[in-house]
Amino acid sequence: MDFKAKKKYYNRCAPYEPLDPDDERNVDLDGLGDETGDYVRGINWTEKLLNEITLSDQTVFKLFTGHPGSGKTTELRRLAQRLSDPELGNFLPVFINAEEVIDLVNPIEVTDIISAIVFSAEKTVIEAEGGVPETSLDEGYLKRFWNWLTNTDAELKQVEFEVASVGKLVYEMKTRPALRKRIRKTAALHFSRFIKDAKNELEMLNRRVKNTLKRDGMVIIFDSIEKLRGLTSNWHEVLASAEQVFSGGAPYIRLPVHVLYTVPAALATRMTGVEFLPMIKVCDKTKSPYPKGINAARELIRRRVPDDILKEIFGADAMAGRLEKLILRSGGYPREIVQILQMSIAQKQHPVSESAFEHILADIANQYRMIVTGESFAWLACVAKTKFLTIENDDHRQIADLMLANHAVLRYLNDALWFELHPAVYEIPGIQKAITDIESQ
């Protein structure tokens, strides 16, 4: 393979790149089960969310999560496209990337979430109407919000809190901790007023969408909040802040329009009502290969790299066996499938030798050995035997949070929910011993 081709296919396998619905690499994994109803991720997730929104006369509030790299953003983009279709939803989707508007390494508060939503909704409506957001936003909600803040809290008029463009206040809040802290404090002192004004603004924008754009309303899709993980020093504090914002029915972030939030995967073990996008089922509970899931993963690969190139990478005779081994070793984890494929493309020699291919798989396995520490062995062995998350104390909860966030424990869905260790975790000697200890009891 020449350098130009290698570069092309290497970048077609970028593991952290979410795909748009019209991208030729995009595989509708759930659509593969439409004829039989036997879905490789349990149900058709886009169809489920679409129906819950379009059929409801009441505003919908949804919390959605999944393992990092499981395909959440790709599915939510597919959902947004279908919601905007006049024949399906006729809505105006407001798609928000939390990485652009929220500081994801520090604790969050309701003020951050609501401000980002109203800003993004106004920006989307202005664009849909053919306006210029850069100028209109300086005269919109954020200007009124900033005027209210500065009239309420005189200290915000000091030089250290000066804002060059109020239309970019949300970005200023993300990048300037001192400003964000002061705005949070002021909003908290007048919280009912803040929430009322924000929701009134959304209702006004929703009327514009209906009357001017002739749509059925807005749908807020707040993506990437699940990436809220903090740093090693504040990980639990950051997670606790997310739990506080989204738990207890989340009364302050329920809106007068349909809204879907992605949340950290760890919250699925801490609160009810969180929808969880599972992995591709490539094996059943008995660890027997599941052909339909393997075929779905195989299609995911084929859309990125055609078979003639795959034969060049892996060898014509070895290709089928190596691809199946790659898929099974991933546990049906989409990002890891693509990552192993990219690592294979990057090899100096093609076809990839057997030792080089095993070295790639070992590199992936070593990442899990760094995550899985001795104090988690017994708990993980219990998951391996029961296929459930048994959480008896805070130590178990912290282990579960870490293992789900780092996909050492994978979640699947048939008719019922079940869990399994990542195949690489099974290879850790301490895990094997812990499983044997359970079996001998």
> What is the maximal distance between C-alpha atoms in the chain?
74
The answer to whether the CB of 380 falls within 8 A of the CB of 403 is yes
Residue 356 confidence class, pLDDT cut points 50, 70, 90: very high
Closest CA to 141 of 155, 123, 153: 123
- Mean pLDDT score, 77-103: 96
Could you identify the residue written with the tokens 């260790």?
421
**pLDDT at residue 353 is higher than 90:** yes
**pLDDT at residue 441 is higher than 80:** no
- Mean pLDDT score, 357-382: 94
Could you identify the residue written with the tokens 């003020």?
111
Determine the pLDDT at residue 33.
Answer: 60
Percent of the chain with pLDDT over 90: 84
The answer to whether the CB of 199 falls within 8 A of the CB of 118 is no
Question: Residue 283's beta-bridge partner residues?
Answer: 289
**pLDDT at residue 154 is higher than 60:** yes
Determine the pLDDT at residue 135.
Answer: 84
The predicted-structure confidence for 387-425, as pLDDT tens digits, reads as follows: 999 999 989 998 998 899 899 999 999 878 999 999 999
The H-assigned helical ranges of 86-166 are: 98-101, 110-128, 133-136, 141-152
Written as six digits, the tokens of 44 are 């058709």
At residue 350's C-alpha, the angle toward residues 347 and 352, to 5°, is 70
Determine the pLDDT at residue 159.
Answer: 87
Question: Residue 261's beta-bridge partner residues?
Answer: 63, 222
3-state secondary structure of 259: strand
Closest CA to 69 of 32, 103, 9, 18: 18
Annotated domain spans of the chain: 3-14+281-370, 43-277, 372-440
CA distance 101 to 119: 10
Cα 146–chain centre separation: 31
Could you identify the residue written with the tokens 């329009």?
257
Mean pLDDT rounded to a whole number for the chain: 93
Contacts of 1 (CB under 8 A, 6+ apart): 9, 309, 312, 313, 350
Determine the pLDDT at residue 235.
Answer: 81
Residue 379 confidence class, pLDDT cut points 50, 70, 90: very high
Percent of the chain with pLDDT over 70: 99
Topology given in CATH for the domain delimited by 372-440? Arc Repressor Mutant, subunit A (1.10.10)
Determine the pLDDT at residue 16.
Answer: 94
The predicted-structure confidence for 266-313, as pLDDT tens digits, reads as follows: 898 888 899 999 999 999 999 999 999 999 999 999 999 999 999 999
- HEC readout, 3-70: HHHHHHHHHHCCCCCCCCCCCCCCCCCHHHHCCCCCCCCCCCHHHHHHHHHHCCCCCCEEEEEECCCC
At residue 71's C-alpha, the angle toward residues 66 and 72, to 5°, is 55
Helix 191-211 to helix 110-128 angle (10° resolution) is 20
Residue 336 confidence class, pLDDT cut points 50, 70, 90: very high
- Mean pLDDT score, 365-372: 93
CATH class of the domain at 43-277: alpha beta
The answer to whether the CB of 142 falls within 8 A of the CB of 171 is no
Range from 45-49, 225-229, 418-422 carrying the lowest mean pLDDT:
225-229
The predicted-structure confidence for 120-130, as pLDDT tens digits, reads as follows: 999 999 999 99
**pLDDT at residue 331 is higher than 60:** yes
**pLDDT at residue 34 is higher than 60:** no
Residue 1 confidence class, pLDDT cut points 50, 70, 90: confident
The answer to whether the CB of 142 falls within 8 A of the CB of 169 is yes
